[in-house]
Structure 1
Amino acid sequence: MSKFRLLMARQCGEKIAADRGFTTFPVDPFVIAAKEDILVEAKDPDRKGMSGCIVFNDDGVGIIYATDIRSEGFRRFTVAHELGHYFLEGHPEEILKAGPVHFSRAGFVQGSSSIEIEADHFASGLLMPTRLTREALYKAPIGLTGVQHLATAAEASLTAAAIRTAECAPYPVAIIVSEREQVSYGFMSEGFKKLGRLRFLRKGDGLPHTGTRDFNAVADNIRLGRSVCSQSTLAEWFGGSAGTILDEEVIGLGSYGYTLTVLSSEALADDPDEDENEEQDLIRSWTPKFR
């Protein structure tokens, strides 16, 4: 899955939000669906498994979203994810190859399916456009508090807000989502990647012996949404400098069943004016040049 395709999916989501008149937070995916004459319905909370589905048939398009996870932000992300399947080029055709109904597990926990990853990035761009996200982060403290500020402003899930923080933050920050003793996925900001030659954590990797692993050992920490703050080092997490101290802020994600870890430090803060525009550089590198 190329970074360029994910960038295009995210920017498609941002464009849809702007074209539908959303220039401030929050962006409402239910309103956007209504404007497209897409029927959106809630699924019975007793039915668990998938986060939602999209249906393409002769009568029109419908979206069903799960309600067993008690997070309005997650439900909004699920609807935005399904809208990605509707708006992204090639998705309806790919889905219809297998039939009119397509089930999803939104929230960056998919396997290798490219259209699911693209739909997640569309959803993050739709709900948290880059300009609005950066404005919110500039006004908030570094770390978990900044992520929570963005989630509140955008009415987004904490995990989606954390991922957008890593993508847009003008300072070094990394986020890890984990379950028990294993990493589920992780993201680093551009500033964080510049801290040295770092080992990137992938799904299934074991958690280091830090505060996150200790936190995950107590099931009630996750179920009750508890949070703790401790310190660890860049070396413990990514094999970087042992002298680089990180604030390790950990919070349980309730019925979602995962843990979010935010790794940052006030001492590593970048000057926002020196932030490079990676997206423009990436687009420029892919733009054909003719003689």
Structure 2
Amino acid sequence: MRRNRNSIKKLAEAIALEYEEKITPLDKIVGDEGLSVFYDSYGRDTFDGMTIYENGQFYIHINTDLGNKKDSPRGRFTLAHELGHYYIDSHRLGLKKGLLEPHPSRTNRKQFNQIEREADFFASCLLMPEARFTKDFHRKSFDITVIDFLKEEYNVSRTACAFRFADIGNHSIMIIYAEGGKLKWYHCSEHFPYQYLLYDKVVAPNTVMGEFFKGISDDIFKTEEIWAVDMFKYVKDDDINSKFFEHCITYRDKALSIIWGD
């Protein structure tokens, strides 16, 4: 997979860097490839995007019912993800030969299916090519304002931006996502000091996210200190007083936390 990631990265970033615009011009890419993209209502319980091969042509369908507006961060990531299915050789040939069934893609989540992971990685590299992206945080100390600055610069969601920063940023971070108090997934930088959560199915109680799901606050968007022992497994005795920062963003019964150390 590592070798495949490298080839996907080179492919996506070569396409992005063919264009001078900092915000990757997906419309131009679609036009240059002669692809047909349809933005339409497909229901809320279906998909964000889907790529279909019919009668010798590729067609990309984008679901507006899930917030995929043409130039919105979510819509752009969904389209970039579907372009991954078109550009990655194994995906494109699979669709052409009927070996890969057209399937629903969902945006802004951690993927566990390899095909979807590859398309997400392609989208991330296409929208935030490393050569450009790293220049915008070079020598900056990390806090949530870095992510918020970058997401505006590249017109991507905070989640997509945090994933990319976790992979190639200059500071190790962890991203945690939960719904209704249940942990859905987490992702961290390769060199983040702790790789395992103390609570792997529910939200840790002594955290900002934990406050939110206990109903202490209806709306949270703040950074606070948390203790490593309240969040992570395998904290050594010497690190018992170690603290991290947590920034939590909430929406209805959903919450995303970004965690980092000094």
Gap change, CA 1:14 and 1:108, over 3 Å in 2: farther
Alignment gaps of 5+ in structure 2: none
Q: 1:18 deviation in Å?
A: 1.7
Match of residue 246, structure 1, among 244, 248, 251: 244
Gap change, CA 1:7 and 1:213, over 3 Å in 2: farther
Q: 1:76 deviation in Å?
A: 0.4
Name the structure 1 match of 2:260. 264
Identity of aligned residues (%): 23
| Counterpart code for 1:167 | D
Gap change, CA 1:97 and 1:168, over 3 Å in 2: same
Q: Is the contact made by 1:130 and 1:168 (CA closer than 8 Å) also made in structure 2?
A: yes
Report SS of the residue matched to 1:90. Answer: helix
| Counterpart code for 1:189 | S
Q: Is the contact made by 1:180 and 1:213 (CA closer than 8 Å) also made in structure 2?
A: no
| Counterpart code for 2:103 | H
Q: Is the contact made by 1:55 and 1:63 (CA closer than 8 Å) also made in structure 2?
A: yes
Q: Is the contact made by 2:5 and 2:118 (CA closer than 8 Å) also made in structure 1?
A: yes
TM-score (norm 1): 0.76
Report SS of the residue matched to 2:64. Answer: coil
TM-score (norm 2): 0.84
Name the structure 2 match of 1:53. 50
Q: Is the contact made by 1:53 and 1:103 (CA closer than 8 Å) also made in structure 2?
A: yes
Alpha-carbon distance in 1 for matches of 2:25, 2:157: 13
Q: Map 1:1-291 onto structure 2 (within 5 A).
A: 2-19=1-18, 21-22=19-20, 24-44=21-41, 46-70=43-67, 72-95=72-95, 96-99=98-101, 101-110=102-111, 112-138=112-138, 142-192=142-192, 195=193, 198-201=194-197, 205-209=201-205, 210-218=207-215, 221=218, 226-239=220-233, 240=235, 241-253=239-251, 258-265=254-261, 268=262
Alignment gaps of 5+ in structure 1: 269-291
Please provide the CA RMSD for this pair: 2.7
Alpha-carbon distance in 2 for matches of 1:211, 1:132: 33
Task: Kindly tell me the number of residue pairs found equivalent between the two proteins.
Answer: 252
Q: Is the contact made by 1:236 and 1:242 (CA closer than 8 Å) also made in structure 2?
A: no
Alpha-carbon distance in 2 for matches of 1:184, 1:118: 20
